[in-house]
Structure 1
Amino acid sequence: MVRKGSGELSLWLADQLSDQIDFEQLKLGPSKEVGLQYMRSLTNSDTVKRYVVVPSYELKDAKAFEEYIAAFPGTVRAEDRRTAMEYVLKGFAMLTFASRCYLVDAVKVESSGIGEAMNESIVQGPRDAFSENIETNINMVRRRYQSPTLKADMLTVGNISRTTVAILYDDARVNRQVLREMKKRIEAVKIDILQSSGEMEKYLTKERFRVFPTMIVTERPDRVVFNLAEGKVVVLINSNGFAIIAPTVFSDFFTAMDDKIQVPMVGWFLKITRYIGLFLTLTLPGLYITFASYNPEILKAQISLLIAGSRAGVPYPSFMEVFLMLLMMEFLTEASLRLPKAIGPTATTVGGLILGQAATQAGLVSNIMIILVSAVAISNFIIPLSMMGYTIRVIKYIIAVLAIAFGLVGIVISVVGLILYLSGLRSFGQPYMKMHVLEFRAKGDR
């Protein structure tokens, strides 16, 4: 224990971190000395100088100085080696007295300021996004959710990274079963490094093979506040500007924060528009294959002749045409994300125009196929949350494959199977296809 040998703990720490730790001796009177150890790369030197070094010269008494340090906000008693090592690696400064050691909060915070939301843009409403500092993020939530029942439970995840994780919830509204399950899953995460909310979301999901997301990863504090009021649980991770929200229902992924600001009729119209876009982006490729190769008699004769005339010069089957253009659209989408922002939009726009026009003139694809691929891409991009957008991009290929095998019957089978799969899906025990998130409010055993 530290009480019996604080000097031994100081020597052990210096030996373990010999090439990284700074050591100083603070003189308190003619015969009293206090050891000061901290890591310069992690500890704020100005804080140490102002609140530790300067007061040591002013007090001139070891007992008074120890009482001052013990009462300093954020100070922790170092009871063993593990505690000392953990806090020093976080940026705390360790002070070694005759029989006790104290860890003073002097962490150097290196993070970006509060910026504007980039992935979930809105027309009206708040534009700020989470930062990479968990304390700042909690502050942003508390400023909007000024309720005494808002709780924040702190945990540590990662054997090496020792990442701080905060579980936020409204104690008066939260679903207790969901809260217990969330804590249980986080405590069960045994990894070395944790750096992002997306990584944590993967570990929190029980289903090994899943297609649809069962938790929301968002950068918007206003979305977090709205879901806290619905009795949901929010997970914040230090050094990451995103939050995890659970449980979620299918309709949550098609709700933009603009919908809460608009008048009810406009909000419902926008949401219905997104569901129409969902249906189009899923089924248009499969319907084109069906009507061009299997069941042209379903359409009017003029439309069937129009499709056949457009494909007269195309040398391969309709499904190859569809997959070729869909893959090219995927390449353009990925290029727009990976290229530098200065040239990304220009390069992908010019590339898309040149590819589409050249492929049509060369007879590799039909004019109708270009229109269809554009409609599929636009319909996919109207989904507010990118997590669901990525899922839909994958599902449309499965429906297209079934359309190749069974025609229109394959599309019907795929749509029915998709609805059945979603109906059986659960998010922390809650049905995924619940129609309204307000049903989560104040539920669960107390």
Structure 2
Amino acid sequence: MTSEQHLNADQAKKCLKEQLNRIGDIEQRELKNEGEHTLLVYLKSMCDPVMINDNLINRFYELNSLDLYEQFLRSFPSSMEPKDEQELLRNILRGCVAIFIRDRVLLFDAVLVNASFIQPASTENVIQGPDDSFTENIEVNLNLVRHRYQTTDLKTEFMTVGKISQTRIIIMYDALKVEETVLQELKKRLSELKTDIVQSASEIERHTMHPRFRLYPTLMLTERPDRTVLNISQGKIAILMDSTGYALLLPAIFNDFFTAMDDKIQLPPIGWFLKAIRYIALFVTVLMPSFYVAFTSYNPEILRMQVTLLIAGSRATVPYPSFFEVIFMLLAMEFLTEASVRLPKAIGQTATTVGGLILGTAATEAGLVSNIMIILVSAVAITNFVIPITMMSSGIRVTKYLFIVLATFFGLVGIVLGVVAMIMYLTSLRSFGKPYLKMFAVDRNKKGDQRSG
């Protein structure tokens, strides 16, 4: 379609050069044929390469005339001529190709939709909201993010890691909201990565963060594009990696790992309630086994007389101390959990469910464990799976054994000392300079923008 007011091609090129800098997936294709000249500008991650090749590049060389080429382009219903620079940028970010012909600019709709490659999320399920997840193709993942974050402030920088694997990664951030010191520190650590093979995003987390021997993750892995977009809008940095269906988000604080995407969709009071449930589950799964050991072996006088007698009666046939009883059942639960992950999906759930029922019933009837112990182990297993991010729940699984050891040797005093030591350890952790126990990931004292914490 034509317009009396049209955007000047030179002005448009200058605008695109200013606005689309530091965007690694921008493509500029210059076409020349017998004195005729045109320029194509588009985002590779947002445009269909087959459509561009068939309708734009091949037709340019077949028609041999810019006038015929322009008429051909204007014949498409989706073709248009932008009226100003903002309309030009908006359509390029949406998936259009900017075609510079003489002193005119045309937009050709070549948006790429990767619906056939997208699978539902498997580890971060949601009740409401988008259910798509990242794939193992880095271009598809970039397309998923750009469809949700259509602004020229979203910058993409390409790098390779791994001396042998030469794995491609993309660093994505909002130039207006990102903290420059965090971005430079990330690039420095990635450039110093000396490992030969990098095949998963978790390897980058393990090799780039300090100290390397940590109990809790300081970067977040997610398979959800909507979580990635939300974190980028908060000033964080996302790393997309080829051949893996996960994105790496940083900086990440302790509170981030207890936030699910459902919290943003639900009404605020419901979201606060759900997050409170997760923190209650954290204390239950970490402290309940150690409290059982402490109350049974060291400090039974703290409980009411009826509860103490109930526990003593339940353990009347158990031949060994509570420490061995707890460790035996918790390790059995760990074995069942690992078996459910490693077994084929067709028999995994059935085998572990039946195995758990048989093991618990037989152990109770044989007098090896008490009935209360079965209830306790079930509660610990359930509450551990309440934590939405798998990386954090794995660290929590290890933590409860440390508290059991402290309760075995020191009773309630050991548990109190363990809680104090754990808080001190968490406060000492940093994620790219951000305090790990900071409750909110957004700094409001930055100039002009909200920045990530």
TM-score, normalisation: structure 2: 0.73
Paired residue for 1:347?
A: 351
Q: Is contact 2:285-2:381 (8 Å) kept?
A: yes
Shift of 1:190: 1.9
Query: 1:174 & 1:259 partners in 2: Cα distance?
Result: 24
Paired residue for 2:192?
A: 188
Paired residue for 1:431?
A: 435
Paired residue for 1:138?
A: 142
Letter paired with 1:381 = F
Query: 2:205 & 2:118 partners in 1: Cα distance?
Result: 23
Paired residue for 2:103?
A: none
Shift of 1:215: 0.4
Shift of 1:266: 0.4
SS in 1 for 2:345: coil
Q: Is contact 1:151-1:170 (8 Å) kept?
A: yes
Q: Is contact 2:238-2:248 (8 Å) kept?
A: yes
- 329, 335, 352: which one aligns with 2:333: 329
Q: Is contact 1:173-1:442 (8 Å) kept?
A: no
Coordinate RMSD, CA, aligned: 2.6
Paired residue for 1:43?
A: none
SS in 2 for 1:235: strand
Shift of 1:442: 5.5
SS in 1 for 2:145: helix
Consecutive aligned runs of 4 or more in structure 1 exceeding 6 Å deviation: none
Q: Is contact 1:151-1:169 (8 Å) kept?
A: yes
Indicate yes or no: 2:313 matched with 1:301: no
Letter paired with 1:411 = I
Query: 1:183 & 1:299 partners in 2: Cα distance?
Result: 55
Q: Unaligned regions of 5+ residues in structure 2, if any?
A: 1-49, 64-115
- 402, 408, 425: which one aligns with 1:404: 408
Query: 1:193 & 1:437 partners in 2: Cα distance?
Result: 32
Paired residue for 1:264?
A: 268
Paired residue for 1:154?
A: 158
Q: Is contact 2:206-2:212 (8 Å) kept?
A: no
Q: Is contact 1:153-1:166 (8 Å) kept?
A: yes
Query: 1:301 & 1:430 partners in 2: Cα distance?
Result: 47
Query: 1:191 & 1:443 partners in 2: Cα distance?
Result: 38
Indicate yes or no: 2:193 matched with 1:209: no
1:299-321, Cα deviation, whole Å (9 max, x unpaired): 00000000000000001000000
Shift of 1:162: 1.3
Query: 1:58 & 1:227 partners in 2: Cα distance?
Result: 46
Paired residue for 2:93?
A: none
SS in 1 for 2:221: strand
Shift of 1:206: 2.0
Distance change >3 Å, CA 278–CA 220, structure 1 → 2: same
State how many pairs are aligned: 349
Q: Is contact 1:231-1:441 (8 Å) kept?
A: no
Query: 2:404 & 2:428 partners in 1: Cα distance?
Result: 23
Q: Is contact 1:231-1:440 (8 Å) kept?
A: no
Letter paired with 1:266 = I
- 284, 291, 294: which one aligns with 2:288: 284
Q: Is contact 1:280-1:379 (8 Å) kept?
A: yes
Shift of 1:441: 8.7
Query: 1:142 & 1:443 partners in 2: Cα distance?
Result: 26
Shift of 1:424: 1.4
Query: 1:356 & 1:154 partners in 2: Cα distance?
Result: 52
Q: Which moved more, 1:162-171 or 1:199-208?
A: 199-208
Query: 2:276 & 2:333 partners in 1: Cα distance?
Result: 25
Indicate yes or no: 2:425 matched with 1:421: yes
SS in 1 for 2:235: coil
Q: Is contact 1:214-1:249 (8 Å) kept?
A: yes
1:364-423, Cα deviation, whole Å (9 max, x unpaired): 000000000000000100000000000000000000000001000000000111111111
Query: 2:285 & 2:350 partners in 1: Cα distance?
Result: 25
SS in 1 for 2:168: strand
Paired residue for 1:177?
A: 181
SS in 2 for 1:400: helix
SS in 1 for 2:199: coil
Paired residue for 2:390?
A: 386
Paired residue for 1:312?
A: 316
Indicate yes or no: 2:206 matched with 1:198: no
Query: 2:434 & 2:213 partners in 1: Cα distance?
Result: 19
Q: Is contact 1:174-1:443 (8 Å) kept?
A: no
SS in 1 for 2:438: coil
Letter paired with 2:143 = N
Query: 2:302 & 2:188 partners in 1: Cα distance?
Result: 54
Query: 2:435 & 2:62 partners in 1: Cα distance?
Result: 63
Q: Unaligned regions of 5+ residues in structure 1, if any?
A: 1-45, 60-111
Distance change >3 Å, CA 441–CA 154, structure 1 → 2: farther
Shift of 1:137: 0.6
1:28-63, Cα deviation, whole Å (9 max, x unpaired): xxxxxxxxxxxxxxxxxx99x999xx99x989xxxx
Query: 1:357 & 1:196 partners in 2: Cα distance?
Result: 40
SS in 1 for 2:346: coil
Paired residue for 2:37?
A: none
Shift of 1:191: 2.2
SS in 2 for 1:373: helix
SS in 2 for 1:122: coil
Paired residue for 1:75?
A: none
Shift of 1:443: 6.7
Letter paired with 1:236 = L
Query: 2:205 & 2:415 partners in 1: Cα distance?
Result: 31
Shift of 1:178: 0.6
SS in 2 for 1:343: helix
Query: 2:433 & 2:448 partners in 1: Cα distance?
Result: 11
1:312-370, Cα deviation, whole Å (9 max, x unpaired): 00010000000000000000000111111111111111100010001000000000000
- 230, 237, 251: which one aligns with 1:247: 251
